[in-house]
Amino acid sequence: MNRKWSSGIAVTLAVAGVYAYFLLFAQFAFLELLQAKLSGQGLKGVLAMMALGGVVSGFVVSRSGKVGRTAFILAMVGCVVVAWCSSLTDSTILFSILSLVMGCSLGTATVCLASLIGGNLEPKFGCLWVGLGTGLAYGLCNIPLIFTAPPALQASISAALATVAAVGGARLQDSQGRTPGAKSIPWRAILVFGALVWMDSAAFYVIQHAPELKDGTWGEERLWRNAAVHFSTAILAGFWLSKGGWKSLCATAWALLALAGWWVNEPATREWAGWIYPAGVSLYSTALVAWPGLLAERVGIEGRSTASRAAWLFGIAGWVGSANGIGMVESLQRVPGGFLMAAGVAVLVGTAFTLPNWRVLVILGAIGATGWIGLSEKQIEPDRIARGRQVYGSEGCIHCHSQYVRPGSRDEEIWGPVRSPEEVLKGQPVLIGNRRQGPDLSNVGARRSEAWLRQHFIDPRSLVPDSRMPSYAHLFEPGGKGDDLIHYLRQSGIGQIPMIIAKASSWSPNAVAAGSNGSALFSTHCAMCHGEEGLGNGRLAGNFQRPPANLVAGPFAWTPAGDELGLRIARVIKFGLPGTDMPGHETLEDSEVLALRDHLLQLRR
Average pLDDT over residues 330-338: 63
In eight-state DSSP terms, residue 25 is I
Distance separating alpha carbons of residues 198 and 342, to the nearest angstrom: 11
pLDDT band for position 355 (cuts 50, 70, 90): very low
Tell me the pLDDT tens digit for each residue of 481-518: 888 899 888 876 776 777 788 788 888 888 777 777 88
8 A C-beta contact, residue 225 and residue 276: no
pLDDT band for position 375 (cuts 50, 70, 90): very low
Distance separating alpha carbons of residues 286 and 230, to the nearest angstrom: 10
Distance separating alpha carbons of residues 19 and 132, to the nearest angstrom: 12
| CA dihedral sign, ordered 379, 369, 345, 47 | positive
Average pLDDT over residues 117-128: 87
Which pLDDT score is estimated for 326? 67
CATH of domain 3-173+184-374: 1.20.1250.20
Q: At what angle do helices 358-374 and 246-263 cross, to 10 degrees?
A: 0
Which pLDDT score is estimated for 212? 61
Picking from 38, 60, 58, 39, the residue whose alpha carbon sits closest to that of residue 50 is: 58
How much of the chain exceeds pLDDT 70, in percent? Answer: 83
pLDDT surpassing 90 at residue 401: no
Rounded to 10 degrees, the C-alpha dihedral 322/54/422/274 comes to 40
Tell me the pLDDT tens digit for each residue of 408-428: 788 888 887 877 776 667 666
Q: Output 545 or 105, whichever has higher pLDDT.
A: 105
pLDDT band for position 598 (cuts 50, 70, 90): very high
Q: Return the beta strands (E) in 243-308 as ranges.
A: none
Which pLDDT score is estimated for 265? 74
Q: ∠ CA 112-114-115 to the nearest 5 degrees?
A: 65
Q: State which CATH number among 2.10.70.10, 3.40.50.720, 2.60.120.10, 1.10.760.10 fits the domain covering 384-496.
A: 1.10.760.10
Which pLDDT score is estimated for 89? 77
| Three-state secondary-structure class, residue 459 | coil
pLDDT surpassing 90 at residue 128: yes
Type of residue numbered 242: S
Type of residue numbered 18: V
pLDDT surpassing 60 at residue 177: no
Distance separating alpha carbons of residues 268 and 413, to the nearest angstrom: 28
The answer to which of 139-143, 273-277, 401-405, 420-424 has the lowest mean pLDDT is 420-424
Neighbouring C-alpha atoms within 13 Å toward the C-beta of 547: 14
Best mean pLDDT range from 327-341, 356-370, 463-477, 553-567 = 463-477
Tell me the pLDDT tens digit for each residue of 519-541: 999 999 999 999 999 998 999 98
State the chain's mean pLDDT as an integer. 81
Which pLDDT score is estimated for 403? 84
**Domains of the chain by residue range:** 3-173+184-374, 384-496, 507-604
Distance separating alpha carbons of residues 587 and 260, to the nearest angstrom: 39
8 A C-beta contact, residue 347 and residue 251: yes
Distance separating alpha carbons of residues 312 and 55, to the nearest angstrom: 9
Q: What is the DSSP string of 452-489?
A: HHHHHHH-HHHHSTT--PPP-GGGGSTT--HHHHHHHH
CATH of domain 507-604: 1.10.760.10
Fold agreement (3-173+184-374, 507-604): no
Q: What is the DSSP string of 109-144?
A: HHHHHHHHHHHH--HHHHHHHHHHHHHHHHHHHTSH
Distance separating alpha carbons of residues 296 and 2, to the nearest angstrom: 26
pLDDT surpassing 50 at residue 371: no
Distance separating alpha carbons of residues 17 and 404, to the nearest angstrom: 38
C-beta atoms surrounding 324 within 10 Å: 15
Picking from 109, 93, 91, the residue whose alpha carbon sits closest to that of residue 25 is: 109
Type of residue numbered 336: P
- The number of angstroms, rounded, from the C-alpha of 1 to the middle of its chain's C-alpha atoms is 42
pLDDT band for position 182 (cuts 50, 70, 90): very low
Which pLDDT score is estimated for 520? 92
Which pLDDT score is estimated for 107? 92
Distance separating alpha carbons of residues 224 and 143, to the nearest angstrom: 6
8 A C-beta contact, residue 274 and residue 216: yes
Does pTM surpass 0.85? no
How much of the chain exceeds pLDDT 90, in percent? Answer: 28
Distance separating alpha carbons of residues 103 and 73, to the nearest angstrom: 15
pLDDT surpassing 70 at residue 37: no
Average pLDDT over residues 347-364: 58
Tell me the pLDDT tens digit for each residue of 268-318: 787 888 889 999 999 999 999 998 888 875 433 343 468 888 888 888 888
Picking from 319, 320, 321, 307, the residue whose alpha carbon sits closest to that of residue 59 is: 307
Tell me the pLDDT tens digit for each residue of 187-231: 778 888 888 888 888 888 777 766 567 766 766 678 889 899 999
Distance separating alpha carbons of residues 25 and 150, to the nearest angstrom: 11
Average pLDDT over residues 129-135: 95
Distance separating alpha carbons of residues 426 and 432, to the nearest angstrom: 11
Average pLDDT over residues 584-598: 91
Which pLDDT score is estimated for 366? 55
Peptide bond into 278 cis (omega under 30): no
pLDDT surpassing 80 at residue 365: no
